[in-house]
Homo-oligomer: A and B are copies of this chain.
Amino acid sequence: MYVLEGARLCGEAIEKYRNGELDIYAAFASEKALERYSQYIPTELFEDEKAVDFFTVSESVCDFMSGTKGSQGVFLIAKTDERILADADISAGKRCGKYIVLDNLQDPGNVGTILRTADAVGVDGVVMCNNCCELYNPKTIRSAMGSALRLNIYNAGELSEVCEVFAKAGVKTFAAVIDSDATSVAKCDFSGSCAVVIGNEGNGLLKEDADCCDEKITIKMHGNINSLNAAMAGGIILWEMFREDNGRDTKL
């Protein structure tokens, strides 16, 4: 189970529940939230359906439950949907599948921000591997702004296993590294099916992990700087993957 917080996010989750795409166990709202965010909180739904326990709670309980200051006072408890990456999930196909792989990222805010950006460009799937921080961490869910509900997200073990699945499906893998000899992401050919692997905040990708991938790519930088925030690096690469019309129906 995990917690969803905030009126808009909970509203989106309730839509998924109505469509049979998400299991919700319980909902919590303050009196004030029920007035202010009535469009997102269908109390009649909770009355009709016994499956969801609904609780009106005080402001102070909301503050206690909340991970942020100034809680909106709307919470859901939903069922996690942990999908293990399987060969069947990945297809190169006609659509030229585009994937992002998060390898050992540790900051839930970074993971959430990458998910939000991945959703904005329209990736086909996200793989979290090598002990990446948990998708259902409240901070990840919050910074993903609903994208965690919309994206295809898969868990996996070692990066080498992930690369095998992609290789079998005909998806080219790119390792994002800090290395001036690697291909500049601005010059990289992202046409066709491909996946980009982003590494840990402090250490980047381990050499043996980068070596599992088909090609190494890098974001060229100016002057003395040699790294970007991991979410920013991921976002710029996602942007580049979808920037040109790489055989997709979306042109950004």
Listed in ascending order, the chain A residues whose CB lies under 8 Å from chain B are 109, 113, 116-117, 119-122, 143, 147, 150, 184, 186, 219-225, 228-229, 231-232, 235-236, 239, 242-243, 250-252
Contacts and interface: CB of A to CB of B under 8 A. Distances in A.
A222 B250 contact: yes
Contact of A143 (B143, B229, B235): B229
Contacts of A120: 219, 221-222, 225, 228
Determine how many copies of this chain the complex contains.
2
A184 to B, nearest CB: 7
Contacts of A109: 109
Given A219-B252, A236-B236, A228 B186 contact: no
A147 B239 contact: no
A30 B203 CA distance: 25
A221 B150 CA distance: 15
